[in-house]
Chain A
Amino acid sequence: MAVDSSYKRVSHQPAGTVQLMVEGQMIEAIAGESVAAAVLQTGIRQTRTTPVSEAGRAPYCMMGVCFECLMEIDGVPNTQACMTEVREGMVVNIQRGSRSVSGESV
C-alpha cells in the first residue's frame, strides 16, 4: 500500500481481496470492508471538499452519523463511503464541492 497513508494494516488473517479504482488508481481492499477504510490506506487525506468553503474533509466517525465521508461512488455523488461495502471494479472519486444534478438534462 501507499507509504504515505494515514492508516496501515497490521497482521491479519488471510482474507479475500477486491480491486477498486480510487481517483484513477487501482487499489486492493479486504472483501467486506468499507470504501472509507479502503481509501484511508491510500495517500488521499481529503475525501471531499465542502460545498460552503471548499475546505477539505475526511472520514470522521466511520459509523454513518457524521456524513463527512461523502464520496462519488460508481457515479453516485453524496454516498457515505463508511457505509458502502467495497466491490470488485468499483470506481470511487473525491467529491469536490457541491454535487451536481445528474441524469437527464434539466
Chain B
Amino acid sequence: MSAIERFDLVIVGAGPAGMAAADTASQQGLKVLMLDEQIRPGGQIYRSIGHTPIQDRSVLGPDYYAGEKLLAGLNQASLERLQGATVWEVREDNTLCFSVGGESRRVGFDKLLLATGAQERPAPFPGWTLPGVMTCGAAQILLKTSSMVPNGPLVIAGSGPLFLLIACQLLRAGVEIEALIETIPRANYRVALPELAGALRGWRYLIKGAKMLAEIRRYKVPFYKGVDQIRAEADSEGNLSEVIVQHGQEQQRIPCRTLLSHQGVIPNTQLGRAIGLEHSWDEVQLCWKPVLSEQGVSSHPDILVAGDSAGIGGAVVAEIQGQLVADAAARSLGKAGMPEPQRAGLKQQLSQQLAIRPFLDKLYRPAEAFIRPVDETVVCRCEEITAGEIRGLVELGCSGPNQTKAFCRSGMGACQGRQCGTTVSALLAEVQEKPIPDVGYYNIRMPIKPLTLGELASLNSYTEQRD
C-alpha cells in the first residue's frame, strides 16, 4: 500500500487569500499544507513582504506593508509550507502532484483550496512582444523584490489602479517618466457614473485614486488621456525603440527604452481549468471565473476557491475570503468553526470592500483595441500567431479555441494558453458573431507547468520508496 501523506487542507498559493486561509485553518486545528510557486510568501501584491530591499517605506506605501500582519500570522501558524513548489496535477482520488527543487511529490487532501490569485490581463497590441515591453506588474515585482527601476526613457501605458500605482511608486523612487498614456475609452466614464453612488460605500478607494492622480500631477508627467491605440516599434536589433500613440486622427512618437503596459487583472484559472471545474464568463470584468457557492465551493465538492482566482476583488477582499472559505472547510470537516459574530462581521466587511467593484470594473473596462487587436498583432506569443491568422481560421472551418490548436498551434506553447486564451476566444466570437461564452475556452491539460523527465521520473521513485 502506498503511504502517501494526507492533509485535511492543501492550500495552493501564498498570497493574501492563501495566507489568511492558512492561519484560520490551522487555528481550527486542521492539518494544513501550503504550496506556493514563488521564492517567498506574499503573492504578487505582497511580493517579498518582510524581505523587500526597499529602504524608504513611502516608495511602496502603507497598502503594501499591510501584508506584514498576514506574514506574521502565517509565520506563527502551525502548518507545513513549501515555497518554490509548483502544483502540476490534481487527480480524481484527491491527491495532487507538485514539484519542488527539481523533484516531484504526491500528497493527499480532504479539501483543496485554490488561492492562485490573478494575472495581468493579456492585452495585445502591435509590438508587445519586443524586448523592452513589460507589464506594470513586472516592474512592480522588480521594485519589491530587487529594488530595481527602469533605466529609462520610460513610458507607461494602459488603465486601472495598478497603472496609477506603479507610476506613483516609480516617481517616489526617483524615476523620470517620459509619458503616461491612459487608454480609458471616453464612453466608460458615462457607463461608470451610475455606479458612483454605490461606490461611495468604498470611499477609501476613491480617495486613494484621487490622491494618486494628484501625486502624478505634482510631478508634471506628460499625461495623455483617451488614447485609442498604441504600437511599439523596434530598432534595427529588434529591441523596443519607440511607442506610437494614436489619439483620434493624431499620431505621436515617443522614443523609449522601456514601455510598461497594463489593462487590469483577471483570475488565474489555469489549475481549476485543468481539473475541469465549471467556469463562467463575467461580461462586466471580461474574464472567466470558476462557478462557486457562497462558501467558495467549486463544481467539485472538495475543491474551494478564494481570492482573486475566484473573481477580481483585490487584496483585502482576498484576505477576508480566505478566512471565510477556510472556516467553511473546517466546519465541513467537523470542526467548530469561528464564532458566528466573527463570521458575520467578516461577511459585512466583504460586502463593503466589494462596493467599489462595479464602478472600477466599468471605468477600467479595456478599450476594444486591446480585447480584439488589429490583424498584425501577435496574439499567441509562444507560437507567434497573429490576430489576423486567428480571424482567418473561422473561414477555414475552425469552430472553437481548441480547434485553433490543430490549425495553427496557438495555445500550445510553453505558457499553455495563459497569454492568448482570452484573446483567441474573443476573436473567434467576433468573427462568428457569437457571445464569448458560446465560443468557450481552451481545454487546459495537466501537467499545467512544463516538467523535465527527471522531475516526472522522481515521482515514481518517491512513491516506490514509500510503498
With contact pairs A45-B131, A62-B142, A67-B382 given, residues A56 and B237 touching in the complex (Cβ less than 8 Å): yes
If A37-B145, A65-B419, A68-B381 touch, does A32 touch B137 (CB 8 Å cutoff)? no
Q: Please give, as numbers and ranges, the residues of chain B lying within 8 Å of A11 by CB-CB distance.
A: 55-56, 147
> At the interface, yes or no: A20 with Cβ under 8 Å from chain B?
no
Which of B84, B137, B384 meets A61, CB within 8 Å? B137
- CA distance in complex: A32, B174 (Å): 24
| Given A59-B134, A62-B142, A63-B119, A12:B383 Cβ within 8 A | no
* A15 to B135 alpha-carbon distance, docked (Å): 26
Chain A positions within 8 Å of B452 at CB level: 76
Is B149 a contact partner of A66 (Cβ separation < 8 A)? no
Main secondary structure, interface of B, reads: loop
Please measure, in the bound complex, the distance between the C-alpha atom of A46 and the C-alpha atom of B401, giving whole angstroms.
Answer: 31
Q: Mark A67-106, 1 if CB is under 8 A from B, else 0.
A: 1101000001010000101000000000000000000000
Determine how close the nearest CB of chain B comes to the CB of A80; give it in whole angstroms. Answer: 9
- Assembly CA distance A66 to B414 (angstroms): 8
Q: Complex: how many Å from CA A15 to CA B219? A: 31
Q: Which residues of A contact B173 (CB under 8 A)?
A: 10
In the complex, the answer to whether A57 meets B129 with C-beta atoms within 8 Å is: yes
CB pair B134–A60 under 8 Å, yes or no, is: yes
Least CB distance, A78 to chain B, in whole angstroms = 6
Is A37 touching B119 in the complex (CB atoms < 8 A)? Answer: no
Flag if A56 contacts B146 (CB, 8 Å): no
Chain B: interface residue total (CB-CB under 8 A): 50
A interface: dominant SS: loop
Chain A residues with Cβ under 8 A from B39's Cβ?
32, 34, 85
For residue A56, which residues in chain B have a CB less than 8 angstroms away from its CB? Answer: 131, 237-239
Residues B239 and A45 in contact, CB atoms below 8 Å apart: yes
Complex Cα gap A56–B150 (Å): 19
CB pair A12–B258 under 8 Å, yes or no, is no
When C-beta atoms are compared, the residue in chain B nearest to A4 turns out to be B151
Bitwise interface map of B from 37 to 62 toward A, beta carbon under 8 Å scored 1, else 0: 11110001000100101111000000
* B138→A63 contact, CB < 8 A: yes
Report Cα–Cα, A47/B142, bound state, in Å.
16
In the complex, A101→B161 CA distance in Å? 44
Contacts of B384 in A (CB 8 A): 50, 52-53, 55
A11-B147, A32-B40 known; A67 vs B413 contact (CB < 8 Å): yes
Give Cα A66 to B257, complex, Å. 20
Besides A64-B38, A65-B268, 9 more A-B contacts (Cβ < 8 Å) are A7-B151, A8-B151, A9-B148, A12-B54, A30-B146, A55-B129, A55-B238, A63-B38, A85-B84
What are 20 A-B contacts with C-beta separation under 8 Å?
Answer: A6-B151, A8-B148, A10-B54, A10-B174, A37-B145, A37-B146, A45-B239, A46-B131, A55-B129, A57-B131, A60-B138, A61-B119, A62-B134, A62-B137, A63-B138, A66-B381, A67-B382, A70-B414, A83-B37, A83-B84
On B, residues with C-beta under 8 Å from A are 37-40, 44, 48, 51, 53-56, 84, 119-120, 129, 131-135, 137-138, 141-142, 145-151, 173-174, 237-239, 257-258, 268, 381-384, 413-415, 418-419, 450, 452
